[in-house]
Amino acid sequence: MMACAIRPAHPALTGSDLKMFSHGPIFSSTLFIFNINNKQSVTLTQSGLFSRRKLTTPVANKYSQQNDSIVSSSDDNEDGVSLGTMKLPSNTDIQRFDSLLFQWANSLCQGANLPLPMPLKVDKIPNGARLGFITIGDGETEVLVYIDCLVFPATSDSGPTFRAIRNGPLKDKPPPGEPRIMRSLLQALQKSVEIARV
């Protein structure tokens, strides 16, 4: 059993600005990019901080009201808040990794292992899963913020990557339970990388 350690990524940043969560071994080639204050990214490796840049990311939009279908995504380059990016090893079975990611997302809805303050709705979207934070008002359910967990296959320019992006009308404010979900996601990514090796 591996222990979870929480440590500041860089002494110049306060704990509320950025923390890196580590759960077991991380490949030396693994790269994480975390969002800071919704405006900049900080790129980290195990050795520490090495770059900052402004982030805007095109993401899938339009939340689906259908439970069992794949939610379509569009190409209109809507800006989302990047929550994290991970370079995957080149020997990753992308289809299996995507399936494991969706299983993890569905496990969050059960709530026994990770109780959350808001109910979640999980949809399958192209290249990943969408976690919709459900609000109920006037007898209707709405999803005002969601997290897209996306897996992209290798291209001629880069290897396979994973990205987590917050979007929706209330994308600029973290929904209740997001830090817990992101910690759980990091653990799920590390396990999925091991399982999905070719």
67-119 tens-digit pLDDT: 344 444 443 335 799 999 999 999 999 999 999 999 999 988 876 566 788 88
- Tally the residues of the chain: 198
According to the model, what pLDDT value does residue 112 have? 59
Q: Tens digits of per-residue pLDDT, 171-191?
A: 999 999 899 899 999 999 999
According to the model, what pLDDT value does residue 115 have? 74
Whether the full predicted model's pTM is greater than 0.85, yes or no, is no
Q: Tens digits of per-residue pLDDT, 19-45?
A: 333 333 434 344 455 444 444 444 444
The answer to whether 55 touches 163, Cβ cutoff 8 Å, is: no
According to the model, what pLDDT value does residue 65 have? 39
Reading the block at residue 43, the tokens are 């790129």
Phi, psi of 95 (to 5 degrees): -65, -45
What is the DSSP code string of 57-124?
EE------S-SSSBPP---S--EEEEEEEEEPPTTB-HHHHHHHHHHHHHHHHH-SSS--SS-EEEEE
According to the model, what pLDDT value does residue 78 have? 55
According to the model, what pLDDT value does residue 113 have? 61
